[in-house]
Structure 1
Amino acid sequence: MRVDKYLWCVRFYKTRNMVTEACKKNHITVNGLVAKPSKEVFATDKITFRKDQITQNILVLNVPENRVGAKLVEMFCKNETPAEVYQHLELIKLSKEHYRKNGEGRPTKKDRRDIDDYGSENS
């Protein structure tokens, strides 16, 4: 199965077009080699790809026929990404929250919606 179709089938990417773009930007490697979208993937291959500011490593256990449900994904691949990577992503999210302190500067769209909701609840 092609690497673009495989990553789409096991739900790491929402569309095959997104996988193809990632391949063109050299964000996806198979067994340490940069992969084109048409690269064939077999069981025991290791796929590394960069998505959402983290590099994920997966081991191909089996190749599905079609796109599988979220509960069945673990039958076809094993995520070997270290837990530290996910902790680092959480730290990045927390640091973005402290980028602009509440009450300083112009309210964001979310702040304005919260203010509007608060006003409508008290009316």
Structure 2
Amino acid sequence: MGNKSNSGQAGHEPVRLDKWLWAARFYRTRTISQEAIDGGKVRYEGERAKASKTVQVGARIELRQGYDDLEVVVKALSEHRGNATLARTLYEETEASRRKREAMAEQKRIEAASFDSVRPDKRQRRLLEKLRRTLIDTGHDH
């Protein structure tokens, strides 16, 4: 079993979780992949897993990638990192995960757009400062 001959055949050889995440291009290096797993940012079938966990086709993997939480189903196995098009064939994001990710992105866009309009202009700042001084002078400051 320690023999690695023909390990390029997808789906025929056991693949470690850290290698699969790296091959599927979720993380830039295997070291980062291992750190994410060890840090609890990756769950395999709903449970924390070790980097050496063997990945099975059909397994559900939850992971954090940047600010996004993703849930994917394993479609194929590979321990070799290929191009992005090939990597995308190794998994499929669940519909619930995609909807949640898109909703979070929309919420971030709305918050970013509304943040600028909340800031008071020069006239409003002067009025607020005048109000604060009035409250302090009349003893309404807590």
Same fold judged by TM-score > 0.5? yes
Partner residue, 2:39:
25
1:51 offset after TM fit, Å?
Answer: 2.1
Structure 1 unaligned segments of length 5 or more: list them. Answer: 105-123
| Two-structure CA RMSD over aligned residues (Å) | 2.1
> What is the 5 A alignment of 1:9-88?
9-80=23-94, 81-88=97-104
The question of whether the paired residues in 2 share the 8 Å contact of 1:53 and 1:89 is answered with no
Pairs aligned (count): 103
Instruction: Name the % identity.
Output: 25
Partner residue, 1:91:
107
1:61 offset after TM fit, Å?
Answer: 0.9
Give the TM-score normalised by structure 2: 0.62
Rate the CA distance shift 1:29–1:68 in 2: closer, same or farther, 3 A.
same
Determine helix, strand or coil for the equivalent of 2:61: strand
Partner residue, 2:126:
none
Give the TM-score normalised by structure 1: 0.71
Determine helix, strand or coil for the equivalent of 1:14: coil
Residues in 2 aligned to 1:75 and 1:69: alpha-carbon distance in whole angstroms = 10
